[in-house]
Structure formats: C-alpha cells, structure tokens
Amino acid sequence: MPEGDTVWRTAHHLREVLAGHELVRTDFRVPDFATVDLAGEIVDDVVSHGKHLLIQTPRHSIHSHLKMEGAWHVQRLDTPWRRPGHSARAVLETDEWQCIGYSLGILEVLDRDDEQSAVGYLGPDLLGPDWDLDEAVRRAGADPARPVFLALLDQRNLAGFGNEYVNELLFIMGLLPTRPVGEVPDLSRVISRGQRMLDVNKSRIERSFTGSTRRGEDRWVYNRERARCRRCGTRIREGTLGDSPTTERNIFWCPHCQT
C-alpha cells in the first residue's frame, strides 16, 4: 500500500532520471489534460509532500497521487511495460528514459504558480527537509476529543501516514485507536516514533514494523485480524473508524496491549 515512504522513494527514483533533463515526449491519458504537451521543458526537480508527488518544470508541475493502486515505473526507452497499457495515465520520456504512471488516483498538470492549490492544505511533511514536529503536534492535538487514529491519519495535520502506519504505530505505543488524542500522554513522542519508522522504511522496498522483513513476520496488527498478538497471544481485533461513514478506515488492535 503506497504511503509516505513509498512516495518519497518514488520521487527519489524519478529525480535520478528526470532532474536536469529535457522532456522529449509527454502523454497524459486523462481527459482534462490529454492535449497538454510538455515536450521541450526541462525538469527542475521531483519532490514529494506526504503522499503527493510533484514533477516540476519552470512553467508546470505534474501533480500525482498514487491512492491504493498507483505506481510510477522508471525504465529505459524501448523496454517492455510491466503493467497493461490501458492502466497508464502518464508517460514522460527523455532521450534515454521512460517514466510511466500507472493507475494514478490523481493526475493533473498545473501551472507552477498554482502548485499550492494541490498541496497547500497539507500538514508538515513527515519526510520533508522542513519537517516541523511542533506544528504537527499542534495540529493533531487541536481537537482533543478526536480519536488518535483519525488525528494521525488526517493529512491536514501531518502528511505521510497511511492506514498501515497508524495501526502499527498505535500498537507499538500501546494506544487504542479510539483513545481521544487529548488523553495521549505524550503526543510528541508518538509522532516522533512514527516519523522514525517512516524514515527507516523509506530506503527499502520491504516495509517492516517488527524488525523482520520476512513475509508474515513484518506486521504487529495490520491485516492480522483473528491472529494471535505477537507479544501476549491475545487475538487481534478488527473494526472501522471514521469521521463519517464515507471516511471509515479499518483499524486493528490488541485489546490487551493497547489501552
């Protein structure tokens, strides 16, 4: 599941082949931008902000969000595609490389000056160079009655945590997902721990929360409903939580280890 670490790593790989290079062909396969042609523009940089990705030229910014199924693939020209062509939403080419965005949940081409319309509402970027812990704590704790799970998942508070990270982080910190954020003893410590988890995982494909990268041993609670807790043996429980029925997310917890 793409979360902040996946998007950071994607930006890193795209930056390696695009930054400083001219786009010789672009193909945007979404109706609103199908006629846009950025050929001839030089890529300045590729940056991530939470789970959003921006490919920047002097005049434009290609904004994408992977959502659940999206991915950017970087490959040499004339290399066979690794996903069906009908799932491609963007194709960017230099004289040597091809970058293909598949199943992107969001894809838009913005004027560079309008970039903040896409990401300006986001909270501090957990993996950004200007990460601001104090501001993230202030935002996440602004509504003391809100469940801590929802406060940490809200990208307006801090950008980069997804469902998997928040479930695993709350287990590690011994907190029930439903606990009001105002009752968390040290929210700064919780967020700092999650930021370190993201930072460790950003450079490896096999994400792990337990210290083991073996399949089936890398999660404490996420998607382990009815399995036994690795610490105490109690069965992991599953439920849903959201600010409204349309925003509900799956939660997983150990009723013994989390309070």
Active-site residues, by number, are 2-3, 51
Q: Minimal CA–CA distance to 157: which of 137, 178, 181? A: 137
DSSP secondary-structure letter at 147? B
On whether the CB atoms of residues 198 and 160 are closer than 8 A, the answer is yes
Q: Which residue has the tokens 């089936």?
A: 216
Angle between helices 163-172 and 187-201 (to 10 degrees): 120
4-18 vs 187-201: helix crossing angle, rounded to 10: 40
Decide: 194 and 152 in contact? Cβ < 8 Å. yes
Separation CA 107–CA 89 (nearest Å): 8
User: Which residue, 210, 219, 157, is CA-closest to 148?
Assistant: 157
